[in-house]
Amino acid sequence: MTEEVMLVAPNQTKSWIQLVNKMRSVTGLQKRRMGGQNPNFLQIKDCPGEICGRLGGSVPSALLAGAPPCAAQKVADEIIDAAKTKIKNPETQQQMIKWAQQIASAEKNTHPDYKKNPPTPRNALYCLEKPKNSELVGYYVSQDPANGPDEFFDPSTKGTVRIGEKAETKPPGPRSPPPL
């Protein structure tokens, strides 16, 4: 492998792709879907940094694999609470509520089951707690369409839960339409 790292001069892009593919086969690393599903909160007009900046800083950790199933919903509830209590502009309030709905229904990162060969992608457990704010009813974690429907990643045990073994493997109810 060291020789491949040294031989990247003539066509670096091709060599790096070959190296990454070789590393993946040796280490079991898998391509991940990160970045495209996270909402952009920096576009909220008239939302001060001490509110949207602070709340926005808590979003990534709520969507990580190790976060509890209700972490994103709790952040979304905090955003709506702030919109209702600290923001006076109705347009900004509506944008923040839309942002909260996007976070509550975002795709959460999960760890594949590395005990299987090839590693099997798993879904995120659903949050079954009722949201504090009615604007979040029907908004819950989205699943990666490449994942199979039967296996879920449990962040508390770091293990696999099969559908039906825990209540959190079933959605909490009908899904609301995506926020526009």
| Band of residue 179 on the pLDDT scale cut at 50, 70, 90 | confident
Provide the mean pLDDT of the chain: 83
Residue whose C-alpha is closest to residue 83's, from 51, 41, 40, 39: 51
pLDDT of 12 over the 90 cut: no
Rg (CA), the chain: 20
143 or 22, greater pLDDT: 143
38 and 59 in contact (C-beta within 8 Å)? yes
pLDDT of 10 over the 80 cut: no
Model-level pTM greater than 0.85? no
94 and 102 in contact (C-beta within 8 Å)? no
| 113 three-state secondary structure | strand
36 and 92 in contact (C-beta within 8 Å)? no
Cis peptide before 118 (omega within 30 of 0): yes
pLDDT at 86: 96
Over the stretch 62-118, which tens digit does the pLDDT of each residue have?
999 999 999 999 999 999 999 999 999 999 999 999 999 999 999 999 999 999 999
pLDDT at 24: 53
pLDDT at 44: 86
pLDDT at 17: 55
Q: Where are the domains of the chain?
A: 41-169
177 or 122, greater pLDDT: 122
C-alpha to C-alpha distance for 165 and 79, rounded to whole angstroms: 32
C-alpha to C-alpha distance for 36 and 144, rounded to whole angstroms: 12
Contacts of 114 (CB under 8 A, 6+ apart): 28
Q: How many angstroms from the chain centroid is the CA of residue 35? A: 9
Over the stretch 132-141, which tens digit does the pLDDT of each residue have?
999 999 999 9
Let me know how long the chain is: 180
Locate 50 and state its tokens.
């001490």
